[in-house]
Chains A and B, each alone.
Chain A
Amino acid sequence: MSAFARRLAATAAALAVLFLAGVQLERHRTQFDLTADDHLTLSDQTRQVVKAVHSPTTIVVFLRRGEAGRAEAAALLSRYRRLNRRISFRVTDPDEAPGQVRRLNVDPALGGVAIAAGSRSEQVPLASEQDITAGLARLLRPGDATVCFATGHGEVETGLETGEGLSQAAGLLRVNGYKVETVDLLADPNVPARCRSLIVATPTAPLGQAGANMKAWLDGGGRVLFLADPVSTVDLNEVLGPYGLGLDRGIVLEGDDGSRLKDDPITLVLRDYRSASPIVRRLPPAVLPGAQAVSQVDVDQNATVAVARSSAKSYLERQPGQPSFDPATDRPGPLVVAATVEQPRNEGGRIVRPRLAVIGDVDFATNSFLGEAGNSRLFIQTVDWLTLRSDLVSVDPNIPDFRPLELTRSRLGYARLLSGVVVPGLFLLAGALVWAVRRTR
Chain B
Amino acid sequence: MRGLRATRATRATWAVVGKELVVLWTSPLPYVVGALLHIVLGTLYVNQLQARGQALAQPLFPLAGFLLIALVPILTMRTLADEARTGSLDLLHAVPVPTRALVVGKWLASWVTTLVVLAPATLFAVLLAWWGNPDRGPIIAGFAGLALLSAAVAGVGLLASSLTSSQPVAAMVGFFVALLLWFAHVGSETTSAGPLLAGFSISERLRSFAGGAIDSSDVGFFVLLTAAALVAAATVVQGRRLR
Binding site for B on A (CB under 8 A): 3-4, 7-8, 11, 14-15, 18-19, 21-22, 25-26, 28-37, 39-40, 71, 75, 90-92, 400-407, 411-412, 414-416, 418-420, 423-428, 430-431, 434-435, 438
Contacts and interface: CB of A to CB of B under 8 A. Distances in A.
Interface stretch (B7-15, B87-95, B136-144): B136-144
A8 B38 contact: no
B204 to A, nearest CB: 9
A426 B218 CA distance: 34
B112 interface: no
B21 interface: no
B39 A420 contact: yes
Q: How large is the interface on B (under 10, 10 to 19, 20 to 34, 35 or more residues)?
A: 35 or more
Contacts of B208: 75
B127 interface: yes
Nearest to B137: A34
A29 B217 contact: yes
A76 B151 CA distance: 28
B36 to A, nearest CB: 8
B143 to A, nearest CB: 11
A11 B231 contact: yes
Contacts of A29: 215-217
13 contacts: A7-B239, A21-B224, A22-B199, A30-B215, A34-B214, A35-B137, A39-B212, A75-B207, A403-B55, A419-B38, A423-B34, A423-B123, A424-B39
Contact of A403 (B50, B133, B224, B232): B133
A415 B49 contact: yes
A415 B213 CA distance: 27
A59 B71 CA distance: 39
Contacts of A419: 38-39, 41-43, 45-46, 123-124
A403 B38 contact: no
A26 B138 contact: no
Interface string B123-139: 11001100111111110
B35 A428 contact: yes
Contacts of B212: 33-35, 39-40
A406 B213 contact: no
Contacts of B35: 423-425, 427-428
Contact of A36 (B32, B50, B136, B232): B136
B232 A405 contact: no
Given A34-B212, A428-B31, A415 B231 contact: no
Contacts of B4: none
Contacts of A21: 220, 224
A419 B124 CA distance: 9
Q: Which 5 A-B pairs have the closest CB atoms?
A: A419-B42, A431-B31, A34-B137, A424-B35, A35-B212
Nearest to B195: A88
A435 B132 CA distance: 40
Given A18-B224, A92-B189, A419-B43, A32 B213 contact: yes
B96 interface: no
Contacts of A426: 120
B55 A34 contact: no
A418 B123 contact: yes
Contact of B127 (A26, A403, A418, A425): A418
Given A22-B221, A424-B39, A405 B49 contact: yes
Interface in B191-243: 199, 207-208, 211-217, 220-221, 224, 227-228, 231-232, 234-235, 238-239, 242
